[in-house]
Structure 1
Amino acid sequence: MVEVVMEEVVVVEVMVGVEVLEVMVVVELVEVVEVVVFRLNLYELKEGRQIKPYTLMSMVANLLYEKRFGLYYTEPAIAGLDLKTFKPFTCSLDLIDCPMVTDDFVVSVTCSEQMYGMCESLWEPNTDPEHLFETISQAMLNAVDQDAVSGMGVIVHIIEKDKITTRTLMARMD
């Protein structure tokens, strides 16, 4: 999971293995995060178990669809691992909740056209975490360099079975 640092970005860690990335304006940030955390707590109380990434995607999609006439200006990306099978899950949602679930990678928000091109050319399946970090770093930094509004750096989250590794990279600042 990757953050582009310019807009207000927050990563809400739902549990080990599942993360939600929300990119939005500051005013809506507090409301959306509070609603998602509230619904997650209700889910865990009612079901008595931790939420799966696919269910989290449905929950966030429902939240976005509720506000389809007065939009939250956010394009969340959800990445995580199924805690039983350790199968990776990646998806992104648009403003009115249309999900795009893929097996390889998702991109959203600023410089997404550049990111798609770079990710498609550099991404390889079944790579080790260090090589995956290098691939993400090269794709993101090259994409950010092509778009002036993209930000000043990248935060990369590598989700593994037993840990989440976070690294921050600085980009051009001109």
Structure 2
Amino acid sequence: MSITEYNGSSIVAMMGEGCVAIAADTRLGIQFQTIDTNFKKIFRMGPRLFIGLAGLATDVQTVYQRLTFRANLFKLREERELNFDVLLAMIRNILYERRFGPFFVDPIIAYFDEETGQPKIANTDLIGAECTAQDFAVGGTGSDELYGMCEALWKPGLKPDQLFEAVSQSLVNAFDRDALSGWGAEVYLIEKDKVTKSTLKTRMD
């Protein structure tokens, strides 16, 4: 088993019309043994800016701590909030600095730009090579299943309610087919005037 699959995870970000959503399962396991069902994998980095971290749980926590430190330093120096490009540059730098002994994480960023009214999503590999997307991005042990579900359910121009339904159904149906993730989910729906957090109760077997 790959070290990135040791704890299990499934994360997806999906774009809609004037909105963007990011969702993750809440299981923490040691291979097939479940340890916790409320492990946080999505973190708020700004008013409309979120990052999801899939992969090895200890590295998820370490990368988030380093990211928080750099984000706080940026806010003190620049006297402004982080945006999409700054956060993406930060996570790329953190990961590339450790390229010879990498952090085993799979980051996904979801952002709604209030100035342009455009949502943005991106993900990187474990050494910081970025990939921006116009539809959806997936990560974690359930990524193969998530690709199939997202391709089936995503379409251009999804309204907020439709986007929430699509991202929730994609995640839940994908991790039902992945023994290393699941046991509940968190969904963040990001719009221009609000951010809605939802908790999904799912199969726990």
TM-score (norm. length: structure 1): 0.92
8 Å CA contact retained: 2:112, 2:120: yes
1:1-174 matches, within 5 Å, as 1-7=22-28, 8-174=39-205
Residue 137 of structure 1 aligns to a residue in which SS? Answer: helix
Residue identity opposite 2:26 in structure 1 = V
| Cα deviation, residue 86, structure 1 | 2.3
Higher strand share: 2
1:100-119 deviation digits (Å, cap 9, x = unpaired): 11011110112101101110
Query: Percent same amino acid among aligned pairs?
Result: 37
Mapped to 1, the partners of 2:58 and 2:143 lie a distance apart of 23
8 Å CA contact retained: 2:145, 2:177: yes
8 Å CA contact retained: 2:121, 2:133: yes
Residue identity opposite 1:5 in structure 2 = T
Greater CA deviation, 42-51 or 118-127? 42-51
8 Å CA contact retained: 2:123, 2:137: yes
| Cα deviation, residue 24, structure 1 | 4.1
8 Å CA contact retained: 2:46, 2:83: no
1:76-128 deviation digits (Å, cap 9, x = unpaired): 11101123112111011111111111011110112101101110111122222
| Cα deviation, residue 161, structure 1 | 0.8
Residue 42 of structure 1 aligns to a residue in which SS? Answer: helix
Mapped to 1, the partners of 2:106 and 2:63 lie a distance apart of 12
Mapped to 2, the partners of 1:137 and 1:107 lie a distance apart of 13
1:127-164 deviation digits (Å, cap 9, x = unpaired): 22111111111111111111111221221111111111
TM-score (norm. length: structure 2): 0.79
8 Å CA contact retained: 1:155, 1:166: yes
Mapped to 2, the partners of 1:17 and 1:68 lie a distance apart of 29
Higher helix share: 1
Mapped to 1, the partners of 2:92 and 2:84 lie a distance apart of 12
8 Å CA contact retained: 1:44, 1:51: yes
Residue identity opposite 2:118 in structure 1 = K
Give the 4+ runs in structure 1 shifted more than 6 A: none
| Cα deviation, residue 69, structure 1 | 1.5
Q: CA RMSD in A?
A: 1.6
Mapped to 2, the partners of 1:129 and 1:26 lie a distance apart of 31
Residue identity opposite 2:136 in structure 1 = F
8 Å CA contact retained: 1:79, 1:88: yes
